[in-house]
Chains A and B, each alone.
Chain A
Amino acid sequence: MPYCVRCGVELADGAASCPLCGVEVVLPKTLRKPASGSPRPQLRDVVATEFDRKLWIQVVSALMAIPALGCVVIDAVSGDGLTWSLYVVASLTAVWICSVSPFLYRRNVVPLWITIDAAALLGLLYVINALPPASDWFQPLALPIVLTLFLLVLLVLGFARRGILRELHKATAASIALAAFCIAIESAVDLYLTDAVRLDWSLIVLVLCVPLAVIAEILQRRRGIVEGMKAWLRM
């Protein structure tokens, strides 16, 4: 039964020092006993820092709400009702939706937040199109371009997340998707302006992207080339 000579408390058998003051326990060999009680656990509970989704949503909401409200007030008191402030409100709303959509759920539901982002972008373009002076470009121009972009992103990310696209296959898919998106933009613009599709600059993008995709595919199939390049670059 060791005691701390400084604190006067009894210490556990086998204690090397007093937990209260740190004074070393000095006992004759004949009185020393092995440590009593359960051995201490060896594991440490280390909780990984988790991204504070709630705080992020609150901060982004405040950052968007304050300028939006300010613009509405200034526009309302300085002119003939609400005019330019509606553009600001619509833009900030779209930015807010895109900023918080990835953090709505604990699990990373990528298709959901991409869908929400696409809807937000379409909503913003529709509002801009509808606000005076009203235009007619939303349906023939904005809608197909945004939907094409949405489908391409969804396809590439979907294949990548399911493990169908691996390593350099992702570069191949991204190159092809970029070329397809450019063709879609030019087709939509041509149809809107001239009612006929005449591909021009998007073919240049296609000519650049296809070799990139082919090179990525070859490198993916012949991993030795990549490893050799890595070794050479390290030299």
Chain B
Amino acid sequence: MSSRAHAARKWYPLDNAANVYPAVQSSKRPNVFRVSATLKEPVVPELLQTALDITLRRIPSFSVRLRSGLFWHYLSHSDDPLLIQEDVVNPCMRISHKRDKGFQIRVRYHDTRIALEVFHSVTDGGGAMTFLKTLVAQYLTQLGHDIPASHGVLDCSESPRPDEANDDFSAFAGDSSRAPREQGRAYHVSGTPLPRHDYEIITGTVPVDVIRAVARRYGASITEYLAGVFLHILAGIQQAEKRRRLRPVYVQVPVNLRRFHPSETLRNFSSYVCPGIDLTQGNRTFEETLASVHHFMRYEVTAQKLRSRVATNVHSESHPLLRPVPLFLKNQAIATVYNLSGPLAYSSVLTNLGVVRVPPAMHQHVEMFDFNLGPSHGTKINCTVLGYDGKLRVSFGRVIRETMVERAFFTFLVRHMIPVKVETNQEPAECPTA
């Protein structure tokens, strides 16, 4: 497709992963995530709006509305202006068709922060971070700074590239055999539900070099180490509940497929693996849990294994008997399969966006980046990880009042001599009582 044809593109079919989200979207599961950048100076809204308009012209696949077709949902391009909004204390709430004018992204600002909230059908964390970096670079350009288009910042003077809107799942899956979808029901933390529209986030900041050194001491990567800690404390919480029947503990870890397949796409292109431990096999020490996670990740996070997993979903989408089924029936089927094999099958999510790199000229204006998942009443609590400027930001978002998971997690890191600085989106008066 030529760039002119791409520029004139009026609609996009949802990519393979994105088909699930409209079918299972609700206020309890909004499937919205957020990436944000905190600058060193307060944001000027007028310049941010200008920067957003320019960025959307460069990345038109974000200026879209979700539509329902006869057989599938699709994204239709919109030339209407997307207006920036003031930030809120409870991020990642459901995209409202009326209030958000059909757009599937929101750009918010508050004091020094610029935040992008995205419905997962539009893109994944990697695509959203590219958009945010380009938006921030464009905003700084509006302020008069010279920011080069490098380190993942797109050049807004260029036309959109056709490959940026590709659905690369089919190309990645190739003719791989399909992996079976089988996983039992996992343990879920329980607690007192927060009032509707409440979403509490606790973020811990740790030095990257310290946590990397500790992880290496155990022969693991940072993601493996964090997943090991998460599984260990979830297992401990389950055992403390003294349940009659212990369930396995699984943590879903998304994997960016751009590492395994050359891709320029700014749409969804990630899969996941679910390391876990089965408590019916007896107690495990942290070292045993981490070793298990390490070997599982090395075995599962390979191009072949991921291809096979992606091929299962691609095959389901392209099945000749499923394709002509009307959308409302398809939605029911997708929701049923998702409810059986989705959040029920894992205890929580731990997603690591990796280290964010920006051009040096931009680095001096950006204090930090953040990454948050939206609320999920299925798992109750989710964890996100992002590195920038030598600091690792580990955020927990939860829809229950109790903070036992975060407390156990961060105090575990402290016991491993990793300094943790904790902050929250709650008002001081709302903090839990001892």
A15 within 8 A of B: yes
Contact present for B410 and A23 (CB under 8 Å): no
A200 within 8 A of B: no
Give the interface SS of chain A, mostly helix, strand, loop or mixed: loop
B319 within 8 A of A: no
Among A50-58, A91-99, A113-121, A178-186, the stretch that binds chain B is A50-58
A-chain residues with CB within 8 Å of residue B415 when the two chains form the complex: 8
Contact present for A18 and B99 (CB under 8 Å): no
Interface membership of chain A positions 34-65, coded 1 if the CB is closer than 8 angstroms to chain B and 0 otherwise? 00011111111111111000100110010000
Contact present for A38 and B38 (CB under 8 Å): yes
B278 within 8 A of A: no
A-chain residues with CB within 8 Å of residue B91 when the two chains form the complex: 45
Q: From the candidates A16, A22, A47, A50, name the one contacting B432 in the complex (CB within 8 A).
A: A22
Among B9-17, B105-113, B147-155, B235-243, the stretch that binds chain A is B105-113
CA–CA, A41 and B87, complex, Å: 6
Among B47-55, B379-387, B416-424, the stretch that binds chain A is B416-424
Count residues of A near B (Cβ-Cβ below 8 Å): 36
Contact present for A54 and B331 (CB under 8 Å): yes
Report the nearest A residue to B202, measured CB to CB: A19
> From residue A75, how far is it (CB to closest CB) to chain B in Å?
26
B-chain residues with CB within 8 Å of residue A38 when the two chains form the complex: 38, 110-113
Take A19-B431, A45-B90 as given contacts and tell me if A40 and B197 are in contact as well, using a CB distance cutoff of 8 Å. Answer: no
Contact present for B422 and A9 (CB under 8 Å): yes
Q: From the candidates A8, A43, A47, name the one contacting B87 in the complex (CB within 8 A).
A: A43
> From residue A11, how far is it (CB to closest CB) to chain B in Å?
6
Contact present for A21 and B407 (CB under 8 Å): yes
B-chain residues with CB within 8 Å of residue A47 when the two chains form the complex: 27, 93-94, 96, 99, 197
Take A41-B88, A43-B86 as given contacts and tell me if A7 and B423 are in contact as well, using a CB distance cutoff of 8 Å. Answer: no
A85 within 8 A of B: no
Contact present for A43 and B328 (CB under 8 Å): no
A-chain residues with CB within 8 Å of residue B99 when the two chains form the complex: 47-48
> From residue B91, how far is it (CB to closest CB) to chain A in Å?
7
B271 within 8 A of A: no
A71 within 8 A of B: no
Contact present for A8 and B422 (CB under 8 Å): no
CA–CA, A100 and B38, complex, Å: 47
CA–CA, A4 and B407, complex, Å: 11
CA–CA, A62 and B96, complex, Å: 27
B76 within 8 A of A: no
Take A38-B111, A38-B113 as given contacts and tell me if A44 and B407 are in contact as well, using a CB distance cutoff of 8 Å. Answer: no
Contact present for A8 and B414 (CB under 8 Å): yes
Candidate in A54, A58, A106 with the most chain B CB atoms within 10 angstroms: A54
A214 within 8 A of B: no
CA–CA, A6 and B433, complex, Å: 12
A-chain residues with CB within 8 Å of residue B93 when the two chains form the complex: 45-47
Q: From the candidates B89, B97, B423, name the one contacting A41 in the complex (CB within 8 A).
A: B89
> From residue A59, how far is it (CB to closest CB) to chain B in Å?
11
A20 within 8 A of B: yes
Take A19-B403, A19-B422, A22-B434 as given contacts and tell me if A45 and B88 are in contact as well, using a CB distance cutoff of 8 Å. Answer: yes
CA–CA, A61 and B113, complex, Å: 47
CA–CA, A106 and B97, complex, Å: 9
B-chain residues with CB within 8 Å of residue A227 when the two chains form the complex: none
B-chain residues with CB within 8 Å of residue A50 when the two chains form the complex: 96-98
A88 within 8 A of B: no
CA–CA, A21 and B421, complex, Å: 14
B-chain residues with CB within 8 Å of residue A48 when the two chains form the complex: 96, 98-99
A-chain residues with CB within 8 Å of residue B113 when the two chains form the complex: 38
Contact present for B411 and A7 (CB under 8 Å): yes
A136 within 8 A of B: no
CA–CA, A40 and B113, complex, Å: 11
A-chain residues with CB within 8 Å of residue B111 when the two chains form the complex: 38-39
Candidate in A6, A11, A41 with the most chain B CB atoms within 10 angstroms: A41
A167 within 8 A of B: no
B426 within 8 A of A: yes
Contact present for B97 and A18 (CB under 8 Å): no
> From residue A40, how far is it (CB to closest CB) to chain B in Å?
6
Q: From the candidates B97, B331, B421, name the one contacting A10 in the complex (CB within 8 A).
A: B421
B332 within 8 A of A: yes
27 sample A-B contacts, Cβ–Cβ < 8 Å, listed by A number: A7-B411, A8-B415, A9-B204, A9-B410, A10-B420, A10-B421, A10-B422, A12-B421, A15-B423, A18-B422, A20-B406, A20-B422, A21-B407, A21-B432, A22-B433, A37-B423, A38-B111, A40-B427, A42-B89, A44-B90, A45-B88, A45-B90, A45-B93, A45-B197, A46-B197, A50-B98, A106-B97
Q: A9-B422, A22-B432, A39-B111 are in contact. List 5 more A-B contacts (CB 8 A).
A: A9-B410, A9-B421, A19-B432, A21-B434, A38-B113
Which B residues form the contact surface with A (CB < 8 A)?
27, 38, 86-91, 93-94, 96-99, 110-113, 197, 202, 204, 328, 331-332, 403, 406-407, 410-411, 414-415, 419-429, 431-434
